[in-house]
Amino acid sequence: MNTRPALLLEAFTDQPLQGNGAAVVWLEEPASASWMQRLAGSFKQSETAFLQREPGGPWRLRWFTPSCEVPLCGHATLAATLALAHWGCLQPGETLSLASRSGGLQVGLDGERPGAAHLQLPSAGIEPLAVPKELEALLGQRIERYWGSSLGYRVALLEAAAPLASLPCPSAQLQGQDRMGLVLMQALDGRGPELMGGACDYQLRFFAPGLGIEEDPVTGSAHALVAPWWMEQLQRNQVRGWQASERHGGMLCEAAGPGWVRLTGSAQLLWDGQINSSGAGCDPDDWRQAVRL
């Protein structure tokens, strides 16, 4: 029986059984997309990350939800970074670039915080749109501002007094582009939980039923998308974001040059073992087309 190392990390939390779970699989060869998709469906995590490296080449990274491959995932990239450290492939203070569908992603271990890592994600910005009255009616809350993005996510700003954490999950009723990713966010105005030496500045929840995710616990790509807006509002180059889901967690977000955000977070190892990789196949051409530096 062919086996490969695999583990499950709960990302963007320093507490066990919180945060966002991501399976990470180390491949010796570039497995077929159909096998990776079936395995992600079996894991039933919001994301499963697959790492593969050819001799002398960069590490390559792909992400799959239980129903589809996605172009970007923050928490599974954090999990993949800490998995490489767990497997002895990345040392404290070392950085590397992971080839992905979104280009090269710089990652590394945080030298000051054991168990923490950092990653840089692209942030193409958000574009104002008219507030959809049907979404306001569905949420039962006034939407102060509403945006679209090239990532495909829609973003809605709620009043600071809105009960964001206790809102019923709206995924089953979401329509149109909102189904592919809806960020609901609000200011915390000093009420946020403590995270990495300070209080969180804002909080959000993320829903993506169109990607097979009713509600994502802690979403790095969503924070990378909205953190620059919060930095602009607060006139700072770093902010702390919280995700008010049932399995909550958060991250430090910092400006990392035009169009990039650096996220720092911790993760907890839940299990570490081997999986049966029989039937994985080998499809180098698919990987060459899917990832780039």
Active-site residue set: 47
Among the listed residues 60, 48, 78, the one whose alpha carbon sits nearest the alpha carbon of residue 268: 78
Helix (H) or strand (E) holding 181: none
| 118 Rama sector, left if φ>0, alpha if ψ -120 to 50, beta otherwise | beta
| Cβ–Cβ < 8 Å for 7, 245 | no
- State the Cα–Cα distance between residues 246 and 202, nearest whole angstrom: 17
Residue pointed to by tokens 């998995």:
83
The residues facing 268 across adjacent strands are: 10
The residues facing 158 across adjacent strands are: 143
Other C-beta atoms within 10 Å of 282: how many? 14
Other C-beta atoms within 10 Å of 249: how many? 28
| Cβ–Cβ < 8 Å for 100, 291 | yes
Among the listed residues 204, 196, 165, 217, the one whose alpha carbon sits nearest the alpha carbon of residue 262: 196
| Cβ–Cβ < 8 Å for 29, 13 | no
Among the listed residues 193, 262, 291, 245, the one whose alpha carbon sits nearest the alpha carbon of residue 18: 245
Residues 6 or more apart whose Cβ sits within 8 Å of residue 54: none
